[in-house]
Structure 1
Protein backbone atom coordinates (compact mmCIF):
# COMPACT_ATOMS: atom_id res chain seq x y z
CA UNK A 1 0.00 0.00 0.00
CA UNK A 2 1.30 3.46 -0.86
CA UNK A 3 2.33 5.46 2.21
CA UNK A 4 0.79 8.63 0.84
CA UNK A 5 -2.90 9.35 1.26
CA UNK A 6 -5.04 11.63 -0.94
CA UNK A 7 -5.23 15.20 0.36
CA UNK A 8 -7.25 18.19 -0.73
CA UNK A 9 -7.25 21.71 0.70
CA UNK A 10 -9.59 24.62 0.19
CA UNK A 11 -9.01 28.18 1.27
CA UNK A 12 -12.22 28.49 3.30
CA UNK A 13 -12.25 28.36 7.08
CA UNK A 14 -14.22 25.40 8.39
CA UNK A 15 -15.44 24.27 11.78
CA UNK A 16 -12.31 22.20 12.41
CA UNK A 17 -10.23 25.39 12.68
CA UNK A 18 -11.46 27.41 15.67
CA UNK A 19 -7.83 28.36 16.29
CA UNK A 20 -7.63 30.34 13.03
CA UNK A 21 -8.07 33.94 14.13
CA UNK A 22 -8.83 35.87 10.99
CA UNK A 23 -11.08 35.39 7.99
CA UNK A 24 -9.53 38.42 6.31
CA UNK A 25 -5.96 39.02 5.30
CA UNK A 26 -3.05 36.87 4.24
CA UNK A 27 -3.04 33.19 5.17
CA UNK A 28 -0.28 31.47 3.23
CA UNK A 29 0.10 27.70 3.09
CA UNK A 30 2.52 25.18 1.63
CA UNK A 31 1.92 21.51 0.88
CA UNK A 32 4.01 19.35 3.22
CA UNK A 33 4.51 15.70 4.16
CA UNK A 34 4.03 14.54 7.75
CA UNK A 35 6.09 11.84 9.45
CA UNK A 36 3.21 9.99 11.11
CA UNK A 37 5.55 8.05 13.41
CA UNK A 38 6.25 11.29 15.30
CA UNK A 39 2.61 11.97 16.23
CA UNK A 40 0.86 10.59 19.32
CA UNK A 41 -2.62 9.04 19.37
CA UNK A 42 -5.04 11.01 21.50
CA UNK A 43 -2.76 14.04 21.62
CA UNK A 44 -2.37 14.74 17.91
CA UNK A 45 -4.93 12.51 16.26
CA UNK A 46 -8.13 10.60 16.98
CA UNK A 47 -8.05 6.87 16.32
CA UNK A 48 -10.95 5.27 14.52
CA UNK A 49 -13.10 2.83 16.47
CA UNK A 50 -12.43 0.48 13.57
CA UNK A 51 -8.75 0.83 12.58
CA UNK A 52 -9.32 -1.30 9.47
CA UNK A 53 -11.33 1.52 7.90
CA UNK A 54 -9.03 3.72 5.84
CA UNK A 55 -9.57 7.45 6.23
CA UNK A 56 -11.09 7.28 9.70
CA UNK A 57 -8.00 8.19 11.72
CA UNK A 58 -8.06 11.98 11.91
CA UNK A 59 -5.12 14.30 12.55
CA UNK A 60 -6.22 17.42 14.42
CA UNK A 61 -5.93 20.80 12.75
CA UNK A 62 -3.79 23.49 14.33
CA UNK A 63 -0.90 21.29 15.49
CA UNK A 64 2.33 23.35 15.70
CA UNK A 65 4.92 21.77 13.40
CA UNK A 66 8.65 21.70 12.84
CA UNK A 67 10.72 20.19 10.03
CA UNK A 68 12.91 17.17 10.74
CA UNK A 69 16.33 18.07 9.33
CA UNK A 70 17.40 14.54 8.39
CA UNK A 71 14.25 13.54 6.51
CA UNK A 72 12.69 16.82 5.40
CA UNK A 73 9.37 15.59 6.82
CA UNK A 74 7.23 17.51 9.30
CA UNK A 75 6.54 16.49 12.89
CA UNK A 76 5.15 18.12 16.04
CA UNK A 77 7.04 21.22 17.14
CA UNK A 78 9.50 20.19 19.87
CA UNK A 79 8.60 22.91 22.37
CA UNK A 80 10.58 23.95 25.42
CA UNK A 81 11.31 22.32 28.76
CA UNK A 82 9.35 23.09 31.89
CA UNK A 83 11.28 24.04 35.03
CA UNK A 84 11.85 21.29 37.58
CA UNK A 85 13.10 22.21 41.05
CA UNK A 86 13.99 19.86 43.89
CA UNK A 87 13.27 20.56 47.57
CA UNK A 88 15.47 18.63 50.00
CA UNK A 89 15.23 18.53 53.79
CA UNK A 90 18.49 17.59 55.53
CA UNK A 91 19.61 16.99 59.12
CA UNK A 92 16.82 14.47 59.90
CA UNK A 93 14.49 16.87 61.76
CA UNK A 94 11.81 15.37 63.99
CA UNK A 95 9.43 18.32 64.08
CA UNK A 96 8.65 21.83 62.96
CA UNK A 97 8.00 23.36 59.56
CA UNK A 98 9.75 25.06 56.65
CA UNK A 99 8.61 27.59 54.06
CA UNK A 100 9.10 28.10 50.32
CA UNK A 101 9.14 31.49 48.61
CA UNK A 102 8.31 31.91 44.91
CA UNK A 103 8.60 35.32 43.22
CA UNK A 104 8.08 37.20 46.46
CA UNK A 105 5.25 35.06 47.84
CA UNK A 106 5.92 32.81 50.85
CA UNK A 107 3.98 29.70 51.80
CA UNK A 108 2.53 28.89 55.18
CA UNK A 109 4.58 26.44 57.22
CA UNK A 110 5.08 23.08 55.51
CA UNK A 111 5.49 20.09 57.89
CA UNK A 112 9.00 18.62 58.23
CA UNK A 113 7.54 15.28 57.07
CA UNK A 114 5.33 16.70 54.33
CA UNK A 115 4.06 14.59 51.45
CA UNK A 116 4.10 15.78 47.86
CA UNK A 117 0.40 16.58 48.16
CA UNK A 118 1.01 18.83 51.16
CA UNK A 119 3.76 20.75 49.35
CA UNK A 120 1.48 21.16 46.33
CA UNK A 121 -1.34 22.50 48.51
CA UNK A 122 1.00 25.00 50.17
CA UNK A 123 2.32 26.27 46.83
CA UNK A 124 -1.11 26.53 45.21
CA UNK A 125 -2.28 28.68 48.12
CA UNK A 126 0.08 31.42 46.91
CA UNK A 127 -1.47 34.27 44.95
CA UNK A 128 0.92 33.75 42.03
CA UNK A 129 0.42 29.97 41.67
CA UNK A 130 -2.94 28.71 40.43
CA UNK A 131 -4.23 25.15 40.73
CA UNK A 132 -2.44 23.13 38.06
CA UNK A 133 0.59 25.44 37.89
CA UNK A 134 2.78 22.92 39.72
CA UNK A 135 3.13 19.15 39.57
CA UNK A 136 4.68 17.84 42.78
CA UNK A 137 6.15 14.36 43.21
CA UNK A 138 8.48 12.41 45.49
CA UNK A 139 8.57 12.67 49.28
CA UNK A 140 7.67 12.36 51.97
CA UNK A 141 10.25 14.48 53.76
CA UNK A 142 12.68 14.34 55.37
CA UNK A 143 13.93 11.08 53.90
CA UNK A 144 13.01 11.76 50.28
CA UNK A 145 13.26 14.97 48.27
CA UNK A 146 10.20 16.52 46.66
CA UNK A 147 10.25 17.65 43.03
CA UNK A 148 8.22 20.59 41.77
CA UNK A 149 7.58 20.86 38.01
CA UNK A 150 6.10 24.17 36.88
CA UNK A 151 3.21 23.77 34.46
CA UNK A 152 0.02 25.66 33.62
CA UNK A 153 0.84 29.34 33.14
CA UNK A 154 4.53 28.54 33.74
CA UNK A 155 4.83 25.61 31.32
CA UNK A 156 7.96 25.97 29.21
CA UNK A 157 9.13 29.04 31.17
CA UNK A 158 12.47 29.65 32.84
CA UNK A 159 11.02 30.64 36.22
CA UNK A 160 12.81 32.06 39.24
CA UNK A 161 14.23 29.45 41.60
CA UNK A 162 12.29 29.16 44.84
CA UNK A 163 14.04 29.94 48.09
CA UNK A 164 13.49 28.08 51.33
CA UNK A 165 13.71 28.71 55.06
CA UNK A 166 14.15 25.92 57.58
CA UNK A 167 14.36 28.19 60.63
CA UNK A 168 11.36 26.48 62.24
CA UNK A 169 12.60 22.92 61.80
CA UNK A 170 13.38 21.16 65.08
CA UNK A 171 15.27 18.09 66.26
CA UNK A 172 17.82 16.11 64.36
CA UNK A 173 21.27 17.48 63.53
CA UNK A 174 21.34 21.00 62.12
CA UNK A 175 18.08 20.59 60.15
CA UNK A 176 17.82 22.63 56.97
CA UNK A 177 15.97 22.82 53.67
CA UNK A 178 17.37 23.67 50.24
CA UNK A 179 16.05 24.18 46.72
CA UNK A 180 17.96 23.30 43.54
CA UNK A 181 17.03 23.68 39.89
CA UNK A 182 17.20 20.19 38.40
CA UNK A 183 15.93 21.14 34.92
CA UNK A 184 15.90 24.75 33.77
CA UNK A 185 12.77 25.85 31.95
CA UNK A 186 12.73 27.38 28.50
CA UNK A 187 15.32 25.10 26.86
CA UNK A 188 14.60 23.45 23.51
CA UNK A 189 13.38 19.89 23.94
CA UNK A 190 14.37 18.77 20.46
CA UNK A 191 17.61 18.76 18.47
CA UNK A 192 16.35 17.18 15.24
CA UNK A 193 15.11 20.40 13.65
CA UNK A 194 11.65 20.41 15.21
CA UNK A 195 12.88 22.88 17.83
CA UNK A 196 12.30 25.48 15.08
CA UNK A 197 8.63 26.39 14.60
CA UNK A 198 7.68 26.03 10.93
CA UNK A 199 3.95 26.77 11.20
CA UNK A 200 0.66 24.99 11.87
CA UNK A 201 -1.26 22.15 10.26
CA UNK A 202 -4.10 23.98 8.51
CA UNK A 203 -6.87 21.41 8.44
CA UNK A 204 -7.83 18.00 9.76
CA UNK A 205 -6.55 15.15 7.61
CA UNK A 206 -7.62 11.52 7.50
CA UNK A 207 -5.00 8.82 7.11
CA UNK A 208 -4.63 5.07 7.14
CA UNK A 209 -3.29 3.98 10.55
CA UNK A 210 -0.78 1.69 8.80
CA UNK A 211 0.74 4.56 6.81
CA UNK A 212 4.02 6.21 7.73
CA UNK A 213 3.46 9.49 5.87
CA UNK A 214 0.57 11.77 4.96
CA UNK A 215 0.19 15.02 3.04
CA UNK A 216 -1.03 18.21 4.64
CA UNK A 217 -0.90 21.98 4.36
CA UNK A 218 1.27 24.22 6.51
CA UNK A 219 0.08 27.66 7.61
CA UNK A 220 3.17 29.85 7.90
CA UNK A 221 1.66 33.30 7.57
CA UNK A 222 -1.51 34.48 9.28
CA UNK A 223 -3.18 34.87 12.67
CA UNK A 224 -4.15 32.22 15.20
CA UNK A 225 -5.77 31.97 18.63
CA UNK A 226 -2.94 30.26 20.50
CA UNK A 227 -5.18 29.19 23.39
CA UNK A 228 -7.47 27.26 21.01
CA UNK A 229 -4.77 25.09 19.45
CA UNK A 230 -5.26 21.34 20.05
CA UNK A 231 -2.03 21.02 22.08
CA UNK A 232 -0.46 23.20 24.74
CA UNK A 233 1.41 26.06 23.07
CA UNK A 234 2.74 29.36 24.40
CA UNK A 235 4.05 31.70 21.68
CA UNK A 236 6.24 33.42 24.27
CA UNK A 237 8.24 30.20 24.68
CA UNK A 238 9.12 29.79 21.00
CA UNK A 239 12.89 30.15 20.74
CA UNK A 240 13.22 29.99 16.94
CA UNK A 241 11.03 30.12 13.83
CA UNK A 242 11.81 29.01 10.29
CA UNK A 243 12.80 31.69 7.75
CA UNK A 244 9.77 33.49 6.33
CA UNK A 245 7.35 32.39 9.06
CA UNK A 246 5.14 35.33 9.98
CA UNK A 247 2.39 34.27 12.37
CA UNK A 248 0.58 36.61 14.73
CA UNK A 249 -1.14 35.40 17.88
CA UNK A 250 -4.26 36.48 19.73
Structure 2
Protein backbone atom coordinates (compact mmCIF):
# COMPACT_ATOMS: atom_id res chain seq x y z
CA UNK A 1 0.00 0.00 0.00
CA UNK A 2 2.66 2.48 -1.03
CA UNK A 3 0.64 4.23 -3.73
CA UNK A 4 -1.14 6.60 -1.32
CA UNK A 5 -0.15 10.24 -1.55
CA UNK A 6 -0.59 12.81 1.24
CA UNK A 7 -3.46 15.19 0.58
CA UNK A 8 -1.98 18.56 -0.35
CA UNK A 9 -4.95 20.24 -2.08
CA UNK A 10 -8.11 20.78 -0.09
CA UNK A 11 -11.33 19.75 -1.75
CA UNK A 12 -14.21 21.19 0.24
CA UNK A 13 -16.69 18.57 -0.90
CA UNK A 14 -14.43 15.58 -0.25
CA UNK A 15 -12.84 16.67 3.03
CA UNK A 16 -15.49 18.72 4.82
CA UNK A 17 -16.04 17.27 8.28
CA UNK A 18 -13.37 14.61 7.76
CA UNK A 19 -10.21 15.66 9.65
CA UNK A 20 -9.32 11.98 9.92
CA UNK A 21 -8.99 11.54 6.15
CA UNK A 22 -5.37 11.89 4.99
CA UNK A 23 -5.88 11.21 1.28
CA UNK A 24 -8.65 11.35 -1.28
CA UNK A 25 -7.71 7.87 -2.52
CA UNK A 26 -10.64 5.51 -2.00
CA UNK A 27 -13.34 8.11 -1.41
CA UNK A 28 -15.06 6.99 -4.63
CA UNK A 29 -15.04 3.35 -3.52
CA UNK A 30 -17.56 3.54 -0.70
CA UNK A 31 -20.20 0.83 -0.27
CA UNK A 32 -23.79 1.49 0.79
CA UNK A 33 -24.42 -0.35 4.04
CA UNK A 34 -27.11 -0.70 6.73
CA UNK A 35 -26.20 0.30 10.29
CA UNK A 36 -27.55 -1.32 13.47
CA UNK A 37 -28.34 1.84 15.46
CA UNK A 38 -28.98 -0.14 18.66
CA UNK A 39 -25.21 -0.68 18.92
CA UNK A 40 -24.27 3.01 18.86
CA UNK A 41 -23.92 5.16 22.00
CA UNK A 42 -25.02 8.78 22.31
CA UNK A 43 -22.11 11.13 22.95
CA UNK A 44 -19.59 8.55 21.78
CA UNK A 45 -20.76 7.53 18.32
CA UNK A 46 -23.41 10.15 17.65
CA UNK A 47 -24.53 13.60 18.73
CA UNK A 48 -28.09 14.07 19.89
CA UNK A 49 -30.37 16.23 17.77
CA UNK A 50 -31.30 19.76 18.75
CA UNK A 51 -34.60 21.65 18.84
CA UNK A 52 -33.93 23.09 15.40
CA UNK A 53 -32.40 19.90 13.97
CA UNK A 54 -34.23 17.00 15.56
CA UNK A 55 -32.32 14.11 14.01
CA UNK A 56 -29.28 12.52 15.66
CA UNK A 57 -25.95 12.61 13.81
CA UNK A 58 -23.50 9.70 13.55
CA UNK A 59 -19.94 11.00 13.42
CA UNK A 60 -17.90 10.85 10.24
CA UNK A 61 -14.96 8.48 10.56
CA UNK A 62 -16.50 5.97 12.95
CA UNK A 63 -14.64 2.63 12.68
CA UNK A 64 -17.11 -0.13 11.78
CA UNK A 65 -17.34 -3.90 11.79
CA UNK A 66 -19.95 -6.20 10.30
CA UNK A 67 -22.18 -8.23 12.62
CA UNK A 68 -22.01 -11.77 11.26
CA UNK A 69 -25.51 -12.84 12.32
CA UNK A 70 -27.43 -9.87 10.93
CA UNK A 71 -25.18 -8.52 8.19
CA UNK A 72 -25.61 -5.04 9.68
CA UNK A 73 -22.72 -2.76 10.59
CA UNK A 74 -21.91 -1.62 14.12
CA UNK A 75 -19.01 0.04 15.95
CA UNK A 76 -15.70 -1.77 15.49
CA UNK A 77 -14.91 -3.61 18.74
CA UNK A 78 -11.30 -4.60 18.19
CA UNK A 79 -8.44 -3.18 20.27
CA UNK A 80 -9.36 0.45 20.70
CA UNK A 81 -8.80 3.41 22.95
CA UNK A 82 -10.93 3.91 26.02
CA UNK A 83 -13.78 6.41 25.98
CA UNK A 84 -15.26 7.69 29.23
CA UNK A 85 -18.29 9.95 29.50
CA UNK A 86 -18.74 12.85 31.92
CA UNK A 87 -22.34 13.84 32.65
CA UNK A 88 -23.51 16.68 34.87
CA UNK A 89 -26.89 15.74 36.36
CA UNK A 90 -29.56 17.62 38.28
CA UNK A 91 -29.52 20.84 36.18
CA UNK A 92 -27.18 22.92 38.41
CA UNK A 93 -27.03 26.68 37.96
CA UNK A 94 -23.61 27.27 39.50
CA UNK A 95 -20.56 25.74 41.13
CA UNK A 96 -17.71 23.55 39.93
CA UNK A 97 -16.45 19.98 39.88
CA UNK A 98 -13.11 18.22 39.59
CA UNK A 99 -11.97 15.06 37.81
CA UNK A 100 -9.42 12.66 39.31
CA UNK A 101 -7.47 10.20 37.17
CA UNK A 102 -4.68 7.88 38.32
CA UNK A 103 -4.09 9.84 41.52
CA UNK A 104 -4.10 13.31 39.94
CA UNK A 105 -6.94 15.82 40.35
CA UNK A 106 -7.82 18.67 38.00
CA UNK A 107 -8.37 22.27 38.92
CA UNK A 108 -12.01 23.30 39.40
CA UNK A 109 -14.10 22.92 36.24
CA UNK A 110 -17.16 25.19 35.83
CA UNK A 111 -20.61 23.61 35.96
CA UNK A 112 -21.24 24.92 32.42
CA UNK A 113 -17.82 23.98 31.00
CA UNK A 114 -17.16 23.41 27.32
CA UNK A 115 -15.29 20.44 25.88
CA UNK A 116 -12.23 22.67 25.40
CA UNK A 117 -12.23 23.61 29.10
CA UNK A 118 -12.42 19.98 30.21
CA UNK A 119 -9.62 19.03 27.82
CA UNK A 120 -7.43 21.85 29.14
CA UNK A 121 -8.08 20.80 32.74
CA UNK A 122 -7.15 17.17 32.03
CA UNK A 123 -4.04 18.05 30.01
CA UNK A 124 -2.80 20.16 32.92
CA UNK A 125 -2.37 16.97 34.99
CA UNK A 126 1.19 15.71 35.37
CA UNK A 127 0.30 12.29 33.91
CA UNK A 128 -1.64 13.54 30.85
CA UNK A 129 0.28 15.25 28.08
CA UNK A 130 -1.17 17.50 25.41
CA UNK A 131 -2.76 15.16 22.87
CA UNK A 132 -3.34 12.32 25.34
CA UNK A 133 -7.10 13.00 25.44
CA UNK A 134 -9.71 14.29 23.06
CA UNK A 135 -12.94 15.71 24.47
CA UNK A 136 -16.17 16.08 22.50
CA UNK A 137 -19.79 16.90 23.29
CA UNK A 138 -21.08 19.39 25.81
CA UNK A 139 -21.37 22.02 26.93
CA UNK A 140 -22.42 21.12 30.43
CA UNK A 141 -24.78 20.81 32.15
CA UNK A 142 -27.14 20.01 29.28
CA UNK A 143 -25.02 17.60 27.24
CA UNK A 144 -22.64 14.81 28.24
CA UNK A 145 -18.99 14.89 27.16
CA UNK A 146 -16.86 12.05 25.87
CA UNK A 147 -13.20 11.79 26.89
CA UNK A 148 -11.23 9.55 24.50
CA UNK A 149 -7.72 8.55 25.57
CA UNK A 150 -5.13 8.95 22.83
CA UNK A 151 -1.41 9.70 22.63
CA UNK A 152 0.57 7.52 25.03
CA UNK A 153 -2.69 5.84 26.17
CA UNK A 154 -3.95 4.93 22.69
CA UNK A 155 -5.42 1.42 22.70
CA UNK A 156 -4.98 0.93 26.45
CA UNK A 157 -7.44 -0.11 29.14
CA UNK A 158 -6.91 2.88 31.42
CA UNK A 159 -8.14 3.67 34.92
CA UNK A 160 -11.60 5.16 35.34
CA UNK A 161 -11.94 8.81 36.21
CA UNK A 162 -13.82 9.87 39.31
CA UNK A 163 -15.57 13.17 39.96
CA UNK A 164 -16.07 15.39 42.99
CA UNK A 165 -18.85 17.96 42.64
CA UNK A 166 -19.41 21.29 44.38
CA UNK A 167 -22.47 22.28 42.38
CA UNK A 168 -25.32 24.59 43.33
CA UNK A 169 -28.93 25.03 42.26
CA UNK A 170 -30.99 22.56 40.33
CA UNK A 171 -32.20 19.32 41.85
CA UNK A 172 -29.55 17.25 43.67
CA UNK A 173 -26.85 18.08 41.11
CA UNK A 174 -23.89 15.77 40.60
CA UNK A 175 -21.39 14.38 38.09
CA UNK A 176 -21.39 10.80 36.84
CA UNK A 177 -18.64 8.96 34.98
CA UNK A 178 -19.25 5.96 32.70
CA UNK A 179 -17.11 3.90 30.33
CA UNK A 180 -19.11 3.23 27.13
CA UNK A 181 -15.96 2.02 25.32
CA UNK A 182 -13.32 0.11 27.28
CA UNK A 183 -9.80 0.23 25.93
CA UNK A 184 -7.53 -2.73 25.31
CA UNK A 185 -7.89 -6.07 23.58
CA UNK A 186 -10.94 -7.05 21.57
CA UNK A 187 -13.59 -8.93 23.51
CA UNK A 188 -16.29 -9.28 20.86
CA UNK A 189 -16.78 -12.39 18.76
CA UNK A 190 -19.80 -11.28 16.72
CA UNK A 191 -17.81 -10.11 13.70
CA UNK A 192 -17.30 -6.52 14.84
CA UNK A 193 -13.79 -7.41 16.05
CA UNK A 194 -12.79 -7.27 12.37
CA UNK A 195 -12.33 -3.74 11.00
CA UNK A 196 -14.49 -3.32 7.89
CA UNK A 197 -13.80 0.38 7.28
CA UNK A 198 -15.07 3.81 8.32
CA UNK A 199 -18.32 5.73 8.08
CA UNK A 200 -17.55 8.17 5.28
CA UNK A 201 -20.03 10.94 6.07
CA UNK A 202 -21.91 12.37 9.00
CA UNK A 203 -25.13 10.35 8.90
CA UNK A 204 -28.48 11.60 10.18
CA UNK A 205 -31.15 9.36 11.72
CA UNK A 206 -34.39 9.88 13.59
CA UNK A 207 -34.49 9.20 17.36
CA UNK A 208 -36.02 5.80 17.99
CA UNK A 209 -34.83 4.33 14.70
CA UNK A 210 -33.07 0.96 14.87
CA UNK A 211 -31.48 0.99 11.40
CA UNK A 212 -30.27 3.50 8.84
CA UNK A 213 -28.18 3.57 5.69
CA UNK A 214 -24.63 4.83 5.42
CA UNK A 215 -21.50 4.72 3.27
CA UNK A 216 -18.58 2.48 4.23
CA UNK A 217 -15.12 3.70 3.23
CA UNK A 218 -13.04 0.52 3.02
CA UNK A 219 -10.00 1.86 1.17
CA UNK A 220 -8.33 4.97 2.54
CA UNK A 221 -5.38 6.72 4.10
CA UNK A 222 -6.35 7.67 7.64
CA UNK A 223 -5.00 9.70 10.55
CA UNK A 224 -5.67 7.21 13.36
CA UNK A 225 -5.35 9.86 16.09
CA UNK A 226 -7.97 12.12 14.47
CA UNK A 227 -10.76 9.56 14.24
CA UNK A 228 -13.77 10.27 16.49
CA UNK A 229 -12.69 7.18 18.46
CA UNK A 230 -8.85 7.22 18.30
CA UNK A 231 -7.28 3.89 17.44
CA UNK A 232 -3.86 2.32 17.78
CA UNK A 233 -3.18 1.25 14.23
CA UNK A 234 -0.58 -1.29 15.40
CA UNK A 235 -3.33 -3.20 17.22
CA UNK A 236 -5.57 -3.61 14.17
CA UNK A 237 -4.57 -7.13 13.21
CA UNK A 238 -7.90 -8.34 11.84
CA UNK A 239 -9.35 -6.35 8.96
CA UNK A 240 -11.14 -6.68 5.65
CA UNK A 241 -10.39 -3.05 4.78
CA UNK A 242 -7.42 -1.66 2.86
CA UNK A 243 -6.16 1.10 5.16
CA UNK A 244 -2.89 2.99 5.13
CA UNK A 245 -2.32 4.61 8.52
CA UNK A 246 -0.70 7.97 9.15
Taking structure 2 as the reference length, what is the TM-score of the superposition?
0.54
Relative distance call for 1:213 and 1:186 in structure 2 (3 A) is same
Pair 1:67-2:66 in alignment: yes
Provide the aligned length of Structure 1 versus Structure 2: 159
In structure 1, C-alpha distance between the alignment counterparts of 2:151 and 2:15, rounded to whole Å: 29
Match of 1:117 among 103, 119, 126: 103
Relative distance call for 1:204 and 1:223 in structure 2 (3 A) is same
Match of 1:215 among 202, 213, 216: 213
Greater gyration radius: 1
Relative distance call for 1:151 and 1:46 in structure 2 (3 A) is closer
Taking structure 1 as the reference length, what is the TM-score of the superposition?
0.54
Aligned to 2:35: 34
Instruction: Please report how far the alpha carbon of residue 31 of structure 1 lies from its aligned counterpart in structure 2 after TM superposition.
Output: 0.7
In structure 2, C-alpha distance between the alignment counterparts of 1:228 and 1:64, rounded to whole Å: 12
Match of 2:226 among 225, 228, 234: 228
In structure 2, C-alpha distance between the alignment counterparts of 1:60 and 1:29, rounded to whole Å: 16
Equivalent pair of 2:224/2:232 in contact (CA under 8 Å): yes
Q: Secondary structure at the match of 1:13?
A: helix
Match of 2:245 among 225, 246, 249: 249
Unaligned runs of 5+ in 1: 1-10, 84-115, 119-123, 134-149, 159-184
Relative distance call for 1:32 and 1:154 in structure 2 (3 A) is same
Unaligned runs of 5+ in 2: 1-11, 83-101, 105-124, 133-148, 158-182
Q: How does 1:146-165 map to 2 (within 5 A)?
A: 152-157=151-156
Pair 1:17-2:18 in alignment: yes
Q: Which runs of 4+ in 1 moved over 4 A?
A: 24-27, 129-133
Note the alpha carbon deviations across 1:117-175, whole angstroms, 9 max, x for none: 27xxxxx868xx85897xxxxxxxxxxxxxxxx975234359xxxxxxxxxxxxxxxxx
Instruction: Please report how far the alpha carbon of residue 237 of structure 1 lies from its aligned counterpart in structure 2 after TM superposition.
Output: 1.4
In structure 2, C-alpha distance between the alignment counterparts of 1:76 and 1:21, rounded to whole Å: 21
